[in-house]
Amino acid sequence: MTTETATLALAKQLIARASVTPDDQGCQELLAERLQKIGFTVEQLDFGQTKNIWARRGSGAPLLCFAGHTDVVPSGPEDKWTSPPFDPTEHDGRLYGRGAADMKSSIAAFVTACERFMAAHPDHAGSIALLITSDEEGDALDGTTKVVDVLKARGETIDYCIVGEPTAVDTLGDTVKNGRRGSLSGNLTVKGKQGHIAYPHLAENPVHKAAPALAELTAAEWDRGNAYFPPTGFQISNINGGTGATNVIPGELNVKFNFRFSTESDSDGLKRRVHEILDKHGLNYDLQWTLSGQPFLTEAGRLTEAAQAAVAEICGVHAELSTSGGTSDGRFIKAIARELIELGPVNATIHQIDENVELSALPKLSAVYERMLAELLV
C-alpha cells in the first residue's frame, strides 16, 4: 500500500467511527493494534468515561511524542451535510467527514509515518511515543491532563512533542503553532438595590455603578506582548441585568469576561489588577474565576527548525511560527515537554458542517512527520 492510500485508508477507518466526545468508539483500539505490530508498548490509561493511550517504543532519549485526540464534536444536523458525517466520502479532491481536519487525518498520518520510519530505521536513536485521548473536545478533565499527571509521577519527560491540531490557514504547512495564549475567565456579579425607576434615590443601580469600572477594564493595558505573543486582551462576552420591565432598577448586574493572555502576564497578576480596579470604584461584588490554561511557548530551536525544514521540503512553503488561536492539549503536555509545537492540516472547516481536508494533504502530512522523525532521531 502506498503512502497516499495507507494514510487515507486509516483516516477513513477513524472517521467512520462516530467518536463524539468522550466516546472513543474503538478508535484507540484500532490504533493500538497498528502500533503494537511495529514494536510499541501500549498502555490504556482510562479515567471516568475517557479513553487514553500512551504508546511508546524505546526507552532512551530523546523522546519524540505525537499527541492528539480521537474525539470529535457533534455533527450538527446530519441532513445539512452533503454526505453523512460519519461516512467518509471523497469528492472534488477532498475527504469529507466529522474529524477529517480535527484531527483524525493527523492521527492517521502519525501512525503511517511511524510505520515507514520504523521500516527504514529499525535501530533509530531515542524513543517514539503517542499520547492519544478521547476528551479534548469536551471538558478535558480526564484526558491528556490525567495522562500527564501519570507520566510526571513516574518521572517521564518528553524532549519533542508534535500535536496534530489543524494549524494551517491556507495551505498545508503554512503555519506552525509554537505556543498558545492562556485563558482566564471571570464571572462578576455587581450587587445593587432593586427599586422603582421613578424613585432612584430609594434604589442603587448596579449598572450605573459598574459602568466606570468596566470602561477602565476594557481600556487597560495589561501587557505589551512580545516577539511571539500579541498583547494580553480583555473581552466582555456576556452582560445582563434587570427583570425585563422598563420601570424597574435591577438589583444585580452579571458580567462574564475573558482574558487571553501572553507569557508577559500571569493569572494571579491579572486577577489582582481586576480586583484593584473594582475595589477602587467601590463596588459591592462577587467574582468567580476559572483558569482554562496557562500560556506556553517553545522558543525557536531544534523542533521548530525540523518542522520548517520538513514543510519546506515536502510542501514547498515556509512555515510561519504563530501563537494565535484558542487553547489545546499542548497546555497540559508542555509541563513535561521541553519543546512542543502543533502542526496539522488546514483549519478552515473544523467544527463546521461538511468538515473536510484536501486528499493531497494526507500523504504530505505523513511525509512531514516522517521527515521530522528522521531529522530528530537519526
Q: Any idea which residues carry the catalytic annotation? A: 71, 136
Residue type, 2: T
Question: Rounded to whole angstroms, what are the CA distances from 209 to 187, 192, 216, 283, 338?
Answer: 17, 8, 13, 7, 47
* Nine-digit cell string for 201: 434615590
C-alpha cell at 13: 477507518
CA angle 84, 90, 93 (to 5 degrees): 135
Question: Distance between CA 259 and CA 18 in Å, rounded?
Answer: 34
Q: Is 165 part of any known ligand binding site? A: yes
342 in a labelled binding site: no
Q: Is 318 annotated as a binding residue?
A: no
102 appears as a binding residue in the annotation: yes
Residue 114, classed as helix, strand or coil, is helix
Using N-to-C axis directions, what is the helix angle for 27-36 and 3-15, rounded to 10°? 150
Cα dihedral 118/39/315/174 (nearest 10): -150
**Cell numbers standing for residue 121:** 530505521
3-state class of 186 per DSSP?
A: strand
Report whether 137 belongs to an annotated binding site: yes
Q: Supply 277's cell numbers.
A: 480596579
Q: How many residues are there in the chain?
A: 378
CA 54, 57, 63, 65 dihedral sign is negative
Q: Which of 277, 288, 235, 260 is nearest to 184 (CA)?
A: 260
Output the known binding site for Zn(2+).
Answer: 69, 102, 137, 165, 351
Binding site membership: which residues? 69, 102, 137, 165, 351
